[in-house]
Amino acid sequence: MFDRIAPRYDMLNGLLSFRRATVWRRKVARFVRDDIPIRVLDLATGTGDQLIALARHLGNITGGIGIDRSDRMLDIGRDKMRCHGLENRFELRRGDATDIPFESESFDVVTISFGIRNVHDAHRTLAEMHRILKPGGRAMVLEFSLPESRSVRTLYLFYFRTILPWIGGWISGDREAYRYLNQTVESFPYGGQFVDRMRQAGFEGVEANPMTLGVVTIYVGDKGREG
């Protein structure tokens, strides 16, 4: 599906989120330590926007890797890395977030933005995120959630169920992909339920940080110093 929508993915992301997607990815950077050199792994990296946001807002990102299963998303991402002069710092390669092709304890930070909902096994992905982090490392998950306020939620769901699939389908030529978006967002655990999932995967100090009236949440969890 992501191979099909890749050429219009970035443009639709900006349009359908009212340019908020860039702001949310930038906010992920706020949860990263800025006092030590950081090597980052970005899962389900798509066209690489989360890595670009981290590099733009943090001077201590020494480098990193983005993995994704969609070759077309990765091709666009590699072009973007070249445009931003980041091709020597970030490598994008094909890989599965449920079976991360790296040794344990090899990264300081792991991120997954708008990806955990799309992988076929979220439990396994969280366990893999924990495995590849160095002791004391940090994981951040940026994902859609549902607003707590009933009136905001009603408005939001109207937009999500009707307007968004229509515009997304019209511009991308793939209505199913944008119906899939709202179906997965409504069924995926968020808030306390997702915090529990991160704890089950071994993360400590897990917190949920809702943004923009709760339409997205940044979850943050640490790997203990004991590993």
Q: Which residues bind ligand SAM (CB under 6 A)?
A: 2, 43-46, 49-50, 67-70, 73, 96-98, 113-115, 118-120
Distances (CA, A) of 54 to 77, 109, 110, 188: 15, 11, 11, 26
| Phi then psi dihedrals of residue 7, to 5 deg | -60, -30
Q: At its nearest, how many Å lie between ligand SAM and the CB of residue 51?
A: 9
- Long-range (24+ apart) CB contacts under 8 A made by 209-214 are 209/31, 210/145, 210/148, 211/24, 211/27, 212/20, 212/24, 213/147, 213/149, 213/152, 213/156, 214/145, 214/146, 214/147, 214/148, 214/149, 214/152
Closest approach of ligand SAM to the CB of residue 174, in Å: 13
When the beta carbons of 11 and 213 are compared against ligand SAM, the nearer one is 11
Minimal distance, residue 66 CB to ligand SAM, in Å: 8
Residue 139 and residue 110 in contact, taking contact as beta carbons nearer than 8 Å: yes
Q: Rank residues 124 and 227 by Cβ distance to ligand SAM and give the closer one.
A: 124
Scanning 35-110, the segments in alpha helix (DSSP H) are 49-57, 71-83
Closer CB to ligand SAM, 142 or 208, in the complex: 142
118 vs 203, beta carbon nearer ligand SAM: 118
Distance of CA 64 to the CA centre of its chain: 15
CB of 225 to ligand SAM, least distance (A): 28
The closest of 91, 106, 97 to 137, measured between CA atoms, is 106
Token pair belonging to 34: 């800025």
Return the structure tokens found at 8: 């219009």
Phi, psi of 187 (to 5 degrees): -100, -15
Q: Which is nearer to ligand SAM, 6 or 146 (CB)?
A: 6
Residue 11 or 163: the one with the smaller Cβ distance to ligand SAM is 11
Q: How far is the CB of 50 from ligand SAM (least distance, A)?
A: 5
To ligand SAM, the closest distance from the beta carbon of 99 in angstroms equals 8
Given a contact cutoff of 8 angstroms between Cβ atoms, the answer to whether 111 and 81 are in contact is no
